[in-house]
Structure 1
Amino acid sequence: MQKREHHKFSLWMLAWPIFIELFLQFLLGAADTLQVSKISDNAVAVVGFSTQLFSALMTLFMTVASGAGILIAQRIGMRKNEDARTIAIMAVKVSAIIGLGISVLLYLFPGPIASALHLPDELLPLAKTYISIVGGGMVLVAIMAALSNAIRNTGNTKGPMYTAIGMNIVHVGMNYAFIFGKFGFPQWGLKGVAISTDISRLLAVIVLLIMFLGAFERQISLRDFKLFDSKLFKEILKIGWPLGINMSCWVFSQLLIYTYIAQLGSVELSARTYMNTLESFCFMLGYSLALALQIQIAHLFGAGKVQEAYKNSYRALWIGLAIVTVNALVLYLIGGTILKIFTNDPEIIAMGVSLLGMNLLLQPGKMLNMGIGNALNAVGDTRYVMWTSITSMTLIATILSYIFGITLGWGLVGIYACMIMDEYIRGIWVLRRWRQKKFMTTGQEKPAAVSPNGAGGSGATLEA
C-alpha cells in the first residue's frame, strides 16, 4: 500500500495531468481569445481587464481552498484520512458561501466597479454586460476551485484534468454558436461568450461534485456538508490567511497594473491581454511542476520525510527553470507571427514583440518563485512568503511600475521592467529562507504510524 501511495504522490504522476490540463486550457483559452478578437479588440481588452478583476476577488475564497488543500495532503501523509475528509467538506461549503456573496456584488454593480478601476469610457458598455454575467457566476468558480483543490491534494490530479478539458471544449463550442449565431442560436457577441462561460462552469461543478463525493476512503454524502469542526477550521485559516494575502498581493498588483495600462490606452490594454495569452505558454509546465511539488512536499512533510522533501524541491526547480527558459526563447522567435493570428493592428503587434524579449528575463524569476514559494507553503511557512509578497509587490510591482510606466512615460516597457525586478527579488528571498531549513526543526524523518481504521498516526506540524 505504501509503495502504491509513493507512486501516486511522485512528482511525475502528480505533474503530468496538471500540465495536460493547463496546456489544453491554454490552447482552448487561446482559441477563446481568438474568437473574442473576431468581435473586436475592445472586446478582448474587456475580457482581459475583467479577468484581472475576477482573479482579485477570487482570493477571498481561495484563502480557504488553498489552505485546506495543503492540510489535506499533510493529513493524508499522517494517515489521518478522516481529518482530511472533514477539512475538504468545510472548504467546499465555506468557499461556496463566499463565492455567492461575490456573485451578488458583481451582478448588481458592474458599471460602478468598472468605472472605479478607470476602465476607458468606450469599453464600459461591454464591461457592464460581461462583468454582470460572468461575475454573477463567480459562485461556480468558488465551488469548482474548492472541489478541484481537494481532489488534487488526495493525489488524484487526473480527475480535475479531464473535467477542465471537457469544460473548455464545451465553452469554445458554445462560443462559436453564440458569437456567430450558428446552429440556430442568436448572435450575442460578447454577451454570448459570458453565457457560455457560466454554462460550461456549471457543468464542471456537477462533474467535480460527483468525483468529490468518492474522493476519500469513506464516501461523502450530501448530509455530511453539515459537518463543521472549529478546531480544524482554525488550522485551515492559520495556514490559509497568509496564502490569501499572498495571492491578494499578486492579483491586486496585477489589477493595479491593468489600471495603469488602461490609462495608457485601449491599444496597450489589448497588447497586454494578448501577451497574457502568449506568456501562459512559457510557464505552464513549470507551474505544473510547482503545483505538483507543493502536493508532494506537503505529503512528505506530513509523513515526517523532511530530508526527502528538501531534496525534491531543487530537482523540480532545475527542471522547471530549464523548461520555462526554452519555452520563452521559442516564443521570442515565433511570437510575432503568432500575434498576427490574433490581431491585424500593427501597433499592437509591434508592442507585443518588444515585450517578448523582456519575457525571456521574466519567466525564470517566476519559476523560482513558484517552485520554492510553493515548497515553503507546503511545510506551512506561509507567513514568510506573505511578507515577501507584501514588501516587494507594494514597493516594486505597484509603486515603481506607476513611476516608470506612467510618471516617467516609459509605458509598458517600464511596467514590465518593474515586474521582472519584483519576481527576482521575491525569488531570492524565498530561496534564502528555504536554504535555512527552519521547517526541519519540526518535521521528523520517520514513517507515520497507521492505525487499523486508517485514521490515526502521527506526523509533523509547523508553527509558521
Structure 2
Amino acid sequence: MVFVLQCSHLFVPLQLKIKGMAEQSLKRQLKVLTIPVFIEMALVMLLGAVDTVMLSRYSDNSVAAVGLDNQLISLVFLVYQFFSMGAAILCAQYIGAGLRKRLVQVVGMALVVNLMLGMGVSALLYFKAEALLQLMGLRPELMHDGVVYLKITGALSFFQALSLTFSASLRSADKVVYPMVVTGIVNVLNIIGNYALIFGRLGCPQLGVEGAAIATAASRAVAMVLLAAIHFKVHIPRFPLSYFRPMPWQELGNLLRIGVPAMSENISYSLSQVVITYFINQISNEALAARTYCFNMITFVFLFCISITQGGGILVGHLVGQQRHQAAYVLGNYFFRWSMIITLTGSALLALSGRGVLSAFTDNEEIIAMGVWVFVVDFFLEIGRTSNIFAVGTLRATGDAIYPVVIGIIFQWSIAVGLSYVIGIPLGYGLVGMWIGFALDENIRGIILMRRWRSGKWRDKGFVK
C-alpha cells in the first residue's frame, strides 16, 4: 500500500514541453550524469566495504570495532558536507543562470571554511578518540582496535572535507567523470594498501586494524590531491582576490541557508544511527557484526537511487536557475520512478540470496541467521528510503531545504530510535525487530516528503529570481 501511495502517480508518459530542451535531451543528460555518479558512489562505498571484507578474514571482533568507528566517521563526513552540499546546489543554479562570478565566490568560500572545519574536527577525533568510543558504548574487548582505527582515520579526515568540496563543485558543472576516475584510482590504492598492511604482504609489517586505517587514510589524502589538481585544471583555474573584496557575505548567507538545514537533517540521521548502534551493541557482539555486514551489502542496493538523485539534482538545479519549474518537476518524477524500480529489484535479489551472501563473509551461524531476516525486512524499508533519498535531495536542489529537516528530525528520533528500541530490546525481537522500526520510520517520512514534492511549494524557494 505504501508503494502504491508513493509511486502510482508517476507511471505516466514523460512529457517535457519546455523551450530549447526536449524530452530526449534531458533524458540523455540525466544518463550522462548518472552513470559516472553511480560508478563513483559504488567505488566510494566499496572503499568502506573493502576494510570490512578484508578485516573479516582477520577477525569478527575487528569488523565490529571498525563498524562502530565508521558510524562516527560517517557523521563527521556529513558535517564536512555542510558547506560542500550547499555549494553544489548554489553552483548548479548559478551555472544555469550564467552567473560565473557568484559561482567562483561560493566555491572559494566553501573551500576555506571546510579546511578550517576539517582541521578542528580532525584534532578532536585524534585527541578524544577513546572518550568518544566509550560514550558510544564500545565494549572493552573491542576498544583497542576501535581507538587505533579512529585516531588514524580521524586525524586525517580533513582531506575528505576538501575532497567533498572539490568533487561537489566539479559535479555541479557536469564534470562528473573526474571524481569517478579519482575514486577508482583511490580504491585500487586502498585494496593494495589493505592487502599489504593488514596481512603483512609485499614486504610490509602485519598491522591488522592499524594497517587498514593507514591504507584508508592515505588513499583519501591521494584523492584530495588529485581532485584539487583536476579542479584547477578543468573548472576554476584561479580565485581572483577582487571577487572577495569586499567579502561576499550574501553568498555565505546562501551557503548557510542551504547548508544548515542539510547538515541538521543529515547529522540528526547519523546521530540517530549512532544511538541505534549503541543499542545494537547492547544486544551482542554478533548483532553488531551482523549489522555491519548487512549494512555494507544494503548500501549497494540503494546506490542507484543516490546516484540518479545526485545526477538528476544537478539538472533540477540548472532548470530551477532557468526558472523552468515544470520541467524540473516532470524530470524528477521520471528519475524517481526508475530509482524505485531498480532499488526494489536489487533488494529482492539480496533478500533471496541473503544466506549465500553472508556465508561469504562469516561462518558464524548466529550472525548469518540474523542477517537473513534483516534482508527480508529491508525490502519493505527500501520503499520508504528510496522516496526519502529522492525527495530530500531534489527538494534541496530547488532550494526547499528546511521542510525535510523538520520532518526528518521528528520521525528519526520518535520512530527510528524510540520505536526500534522498544521493539528490539524490551520486546526482545533483537536486531530484526529494530530493523522493523527503521522500516516504519522510512516509509512514514517517505509519504510525507513525497506529498511536499507533489504540492509544488518548492517552486518559489530558488536563489535566482
TM-score normalized with structure 2 length: 0.91
Retained in 1: the 8 A contact 2:108–2:239?
Answer: no
Q: Is structure 2 residue 450 aligned with structure 1 residue 460?
A: no
**Matches for 1:196-211 after TM superposition, within 5 Å:** 196-211=215-230
Q: Name the count of aligned residue pairs.
A: 443
Are 1:124 and 2:152 matched, yes or no? no
In 2, are the aligned partners of 1:90 and 1:225 still within 8 Å (CA)? no
1:278 pairs with 284, 297, 304, which one?
Answer: 297
Q: How does 1:189-268 map to 2 (within 5 A)?
A: 189-216=208-235, 219-220=237-238, 228-268=247-287
1:47-196 matches, cutoff 5 A: 47-196=66-215
Percent identity between the aligned chains? 33
Measure the CA separation in 2 of the matches of 1:89 and 1:76. 15
Match of 1:375 in 2: 394
Instruction: Give 2:346's aligned residue.
Output: 327
Determine the C-alpha separation between the residues in 2 that align with 1:56 and 1:23. 19
1:395 to 404, 414, 417: 414
Residue equivalent to 1:289? 308
Corresponding position of 1:454:
none
Distance 1:112 1:345, change over 3 A: same
**What letter is aligned with 2:267?**
S
Whether the 8 Å CA contact 1:61–1:99 is kept in 2: the answer is yes
Give the distance between the partners of 2:50 and 2:443, measured in 1 at CA. Answer: 32
Aligned-residue offset at 1:335:
2.0
The 3-state SS of whatever aligns with 1:186 is coil
Please state how far the C-alpha of 1:31 moved relative to its aligned partner: 3.6
Partner Cα distance (1:11, 1:179) in 2: 40
Q: Find the aligned partners of 1:405 and 1:44 in 2 and give their Cα distance.
A: 22
What does residue 11 of structure 1 align with? 30
Matches within 5 A, 1:423-442: 423-441=442-460
Contact 1:214–1:220 (Cα < 8 Å) also in 2 = no
Structure 1 window deviating more from structure 2 (12-21 vs 398-407): it is 398-407
Instruction: Tell me if the contact between 1:385 and 1:430 (Cα under 8 Å) persists in the aligned partners.
Output: yes
Structure-1 separation of matches of 2:345 and 2:417? 29
**Superposed CA RMSD:** 2.0
For structure 1, list consecutive stretches of 5 or more residues without a partner in the other structure.
444-458
Cα deviation, 1:403-449, whole Å, max 9, x if unaligned, reads 22222222112211111011111111111111111233467xxxxxx
Shift of 1:26: 4.2
Counterpart contact for 2:71–2:273, Cα < 8 Å: yes
Q: Which stretches in structure 2 are left out of the alignment for 5+ residues?
A: 1-19
CA distance change for structure 1 residues 163 and 8 in 2, over 3 Å: closer, same or farther? Answer: farther
Note the alpha carbon deviations across 1:261-307, whole angstroms, 9 max, x for none. 01111110000000011101211111111111211111110111111
Check the 8 A contact 1:291/1:374 in 2, yes or no. Answer: yes
> For residue 116 of structure 1, what is the amino acid of its counterpart?
L
CA shift, 1:226, in A, is: 7.4
CA separation in 2, counterparts of 1:329 and 1:184? 43
The answer for the alignment partner of 1:41 in structure 2 is 60
1:358 corresponds, among 346, 369, 377, to 377
Matched, 1:349 2:353: no
In 1, Cα distance between equivalents of 2:309 and 2:27: 16
TM-score, length basis structure 1: 0.91
Distance in 2 between the 1:214 and 1:9 partners?
Answer: 26
**Amino acid corresponding to residue 460 of structure 1 in structure 2:** V
SS of the residue corresponding to residue 201 of structure 2 reads coil
CA distance in 1, matches of 2:297, 2:146: 23
Given that 1:147 and 1:208 are in contact with CA atoms closer than 8 Å, whether structure 2 keeps it comes out as: yes
Change (3 A) 1:275 1:187: same
Q: 1:303 aligns with which of 308, 312, 322?
A: 322
Residues 153-212 of structure 1 deviation map (CA, whole Å, 9 limit, x = unaligned)? 111111111111111110011000001111111111110000111111111111000111
Cα distance in 2 between the residues matched to 1:223 and 1:340: 57
- Structure 2 CA distance, aligned partners of 1:28 and 1:54? 13
Counterpart position of 2:12: none
Partner of 1:407: helix, strand, or coil?
A: coil
- 2:408 maps to 1:404: no
* Closer, same or farther: CA 81–16 of 1 in aligned 2, 3 Å: same
Contact 2:105-2:244 at 8 Å conserved across structures: no
CA–CA distance in structure 2, aligned partners of residues 170 and 58 of structure 1? 21
Structure 1 residue aligned with 2:356, among 337, 345, 349? Answer: 337
User: Is the CA contact 1:340–1:349 (under 8 Å) kept in the aligned structure 2?
Assistant: yes
Aligned CA distance change for structure 1 residues 284 and 224 (closer, same or farther; 3 Å): farther
State the alpha-carbon separation in 1 of the partners of residues 356 and 48 from structure 2: 18
AA at the equivalent of 1:135: G
